[in-house]
Amino acid sequence: YTVCAVLVEPVEESPHGDLLDLPWQTELCCASRPAQLHHGGEGEDRGSAGSRAAPSDPGHPHTTQCIFRNFTSTLGPHPETEPSRATCWDILCRVDETWDNVVCDLNHPAASSDTSTPGSVALSLQHLATLPDSEVNTTHGTDSMDCVGKDSITCSIALHVVSSIVVVTANVSNTTAGPLVMLSVPPRLWKPSPPLNLTHTQTTEGELVLSWSDPQPNASPVQLSYEVRYNTFQSTSHPNWLHVEVSGGQWVSLTGLKPGLHYTVQIRSHHPALPHLWSDWSQQHRIRLENVTYLPERVMASFEDSVTVYCVFNDLRVNASTTVWILNSRDRLPKSQYTAVNDRVSKITVRPSEQRLSDTLHCCQPLGETYSCNYRYATIYIKDPVIDISCVTNGDLDSMTCRWNNLPIDGINFMSRVADLSCDVMEEAERVGVSVGVVRQAKCESSGYRGVKSCNLQPIRVTSCYKLWMEAKIDNSTRSHPVYITPMDHGCMTAVSMPSGVLKLAWVPPELPIYDMQYQVRYALSTGRVLALQTESWAEVLEPDVCGVYNVQVRCMHINGSGTWSDWSHLLYTTTHNSRAPDQGPDFWRVFQEDPESTQTNVTLLFEHSPIVEPTYCVEELVVQHQDSGGTVTEERIDLVSSYSFEWRGEVHSVTVKAQNSQGSSTRNTHMTLDRHPKRQCVRSFSASRVNSSCVVLLWSLHPNSSVPWSLVVEWSGQNHQDRPGQTPESRERWTRFPPTDKLLYLYGHFYDTDEYEFILYPVFEDGEGEPVYTKGKPSLKIGTDNTPGQKYVSMAAFTLAIRIGLPVKKI
C-alpha cells in the first residue's frame, strides 16, 4: 500500500519525510521486480517519494513495487525503478474552492502506453490528530473516508478547525509498502473582496497611472493578482472591454486612452493559489482625459519662488516641441523659460507676479499669427501679493471708492475691516495678532477698462481706519498685503480720458494746513510724465490714446516753495468717458481641431477687432454668448484677446461675440452657427492666380439658382515659406470675410512661386456654413504674363472690371 499524509496546517518536518504544499500532482507507477532490500546510499533524498523500498517478502520473489514520479515538486523517478510495463495512475490532491475539504483524484489515463490491466485500487483518507486526543474535535465531519475503484477514484474528507493530518492510503493489489509524502494545507483562502479606492493620476512624463487598494490588506500573506478592464462610456450597450493583467503591485499604466472620451474602469482580484476564484468587479471608476493636463493644476507660491509646471498633451497629434506658453491670457513667455520633456510634455519654470493674487498659464500651439489654447489652464496662487489699491472719498464724505488694476473682479473678493482707531494703532495691533474692528461689506462693480475695477464703501466713518485687502474666491488663504486707509486723508480726485483726447484731472485740496498750495501731477501709460508746477486743483493734458488707462498721482507744497513736498497721493486709475455703448462686436472666424475618435471638437475663434471711427466710446471687454441646441444661453466675459477656444460636442451650437463697455454692449454683432449636418452647395467655380510674390487674385462664381449667402470667407495657408531664412514668420492659416456680391478679391502678403498654397472658400448663411470649395497648388503668374492673346485679354479685362466695380482689396 502507499501512504500520503496531508496536514491541515503547517507543522514541523515529519519524521516520515519532507512537507510539500497543496495542490500536489504526481504519478503512482507500480511494476513487478525481483524482491530486494534497498539500503539507501549516501546522497539520496530520504524525504522524497520513492526514496525507500519495502523489505523483500519471501513469499513473493517478484513483488510489485510502486514509486511516485512527481510533476510539481523536485521529486524525480527512482533510478532503479523505470519499469517498461508499469501500471500508472495520475494523482492530484488539492483543497476545494470553498476550503472545506481535501480532495484527491486518482485516474488511470486512457492514453497511457501501459497495456497491462490495472488492478483494483482503494483510497483511504483518515484524520490523525497532531494535538492530544482530548482536544480533537470530531463533530465537524467523518474521521476517515474509504473509496474503492478501478480506473478512477475521487475521494474527499472535510477539514476540521483543529490541526490534524489526513492520511491518504492508496492500496493497489499485490503491492508492497510504498513511499510516503507529507502535504501541508496552506492557510484558508477566501474569495477576495473587490478592490477599493480606484484613482488615476498623470505623471510628469505623460503616463496615466491607475492605482487601488485592497479592502483587507492583511488577509493574505501573498500578493494578490489583478485584472483591469476598461472601455469607453459610449459603448455601454455593447461593451468592448480591454483587459490588462497585473501582478506584483496595486497600480498599472494605462495606454492608448484618447482625450475627450469617457472611460469606465473596473478591477477584480484573485489569490495565486485560486486562479479561478475571482472577486467581484469593483465599482466603476470614470476617466476622462482632456486635451491638455497641467501638473500641478493649482499651486501656491511666493513671488520670489520659482514654480515649475508641466503641460501634458493627451492628443498624440500635438508635439510638445512647438508649445508656446502664455501668461495671464495675453503675454507670450520667452522660450528660454520652457523646454520639451518628451514629445507629449512641455515644462516651464516661472516666478509669480508680485502685484496679482494669481497667475494663469496656458500651453498653446501656434495657429498662424495667433495661438490655439485649450480652455484649461494652470493657476499659481501668490502669497501676500502687493496690489495697488487707491481710494478716494466723495465730496460729501459719506462714501469711499477704491480701485485697483490688473485683477478681474470675477476671481477676487474685496475685503475691508474698520476700527475706530488710528491706522498706526490698528496696524500695530494686527501685527501682534490682535484682530480689531469689524468686517464691512463693499459693493463692487465691473465699471473699469482692461481689468480696472472698483468697489464702493458707504456709509463710511471718515476718522476711522480701514484695512483693505483682496482674497481669491476659490482659495481665501490667498490674500494680498493689506492697505490701511483713513477716509479723511484721501480727498476726492478724478481722472477721466475724454473723447477729444484730453486727460482731465481734478482733486480736492487737503483741509490742513490752511495756506495756499502749489501742486505737481505725474501720470503714466507706458512711460511716466510729470506736469509743470501749478496752483490750481485741476489739470488738462492732451493725450492721443483716448482709451488708454493712466495712473495718476498728485503732491503739494507751500505756494512760495518753502518746506518740502508731501508724499505722492495714492495711485488713481483713469476711467474712460463712454458716451454710448460700442457700435458692433468684432468679426471672427473659427478653426477646428478634431479627433476622429472623440465626440468633441476644439473650436478656436480668431478675432478681428473693428476700428473705432469716432472716439465716443471704448471697448472694455468682449462677451462670448453660447446657445446650445436646447436653447440654453450662457455668456463668458473675456479681455480684448486675439483668440478664444471652447469645446464643441457636435450638436447645433450658436456663438455671438459682443463688444462691451460701461454703457452697455454692441447690438450689431457677428453670429456663427456650428452644425455637422450636410451643407448646401452654392459655389460653382473657384480659382486662385498669383499676380506676383506679394499678391494673389481669387475668382469665383455662384450657382444661378442657389440661395445667396450672407457672406463669403476665404481661408488660406501655405507650406514651407515660414521656414525661409531671414523671413518674418508668416501666418500658417489666415482668413478674411467679404460680401457675396463681389466676384474676385486681391490678397496681399507673401506668396512664393516655389511654395504650395491651399485656398478654401466658405459660403456663410445665417443658419450655418455652406459646402466649402478648395483650390490647391502653386499659383501661376496668369495676369499680365500669359503669352496667349486671348488669355491675356480675359485676365486684363477681369482686372479692369475689378477696378470699376470697386473691388475690395485686402492687405495682409
- What's the pLDDT at 194? 93
- What's the pLDDT at 312? 94
Residue numbers in the chain where pLDDT is lower than 50: 1-17, 35-60, 72-81, 83, 131-142, 162-163, 177, 409, 447-451, 721-731, 781-812
d(CA 498, CA 487): 28
The CATH class given to the 196-289 domain equals mainly beta
CATH code of the domain made up of 493-566: 2.60.40.10
- Is there a common fold for 196-289 and 683-776? yes
Nearest to 510 by CA among 580, 473, 557, 461: 557
Give the cell for residue 557: 507744497
d(CA 351, CA 335): 15
Please give the full DSSP string across 245-308, using - where no structure is assigned.
Answer: EEESSSEEEE----TT-EEEEEEEEE-TT-TT-PPPPPPPEEEE--SEEEESSEEEE-TTS-EE
- What's the pLDDT at 47? 33
Nearest to 482 by CA among 382, 385, 353: 385
d(CA 503, CA 501): 7
The CATH class given to the 17-30+86-109+120-130+143-188 domain equals mainly beta
* Domain 389-485 sits in CATH 2.60.40.10: yes
The CATH class given to the 292-382 domain equals mainly beta
Buried b (16+ CB within 10 A) or exposed e, 460-475: bbeebbbbbbbbbeee
Which CATH topology does 683-776 take?
A: Immunoglobulin-like (2.60.40)
Residue 463, classed as helix, strand or coil, is coil
Q: What are the sequence ranges of the domains in the chain?
A: 17-30+86-109+120-130+143-188, 196-289, 292-382, 389-485, 493-566, 588-674, 683-776
| Domain 588-674: CATH architecture, name and number where available | Sandwich (2.60)
- What's the pLDDT at 664? 86
Could you tell me if 405 and 388 are in contact, meaning their C-beta atoms sit under 8 angstroms apart? Answer: yes
- What's the pLDDT at 587? 93
Q: In the chain, count of helices (H) and strands (E)?
A: 2, 62
Q: Verify cis geometry, omega within 30 degrees of 0, for the bond prior to 187.
A: no
- What's the pLDDT at 728? 33
Could you tell me if 697 and 790 are in contact, meaning their C-beta atoms sit under 8 angstroms apart? Answer: no
- In one-letter notation, the amino acid at residue 117 is T
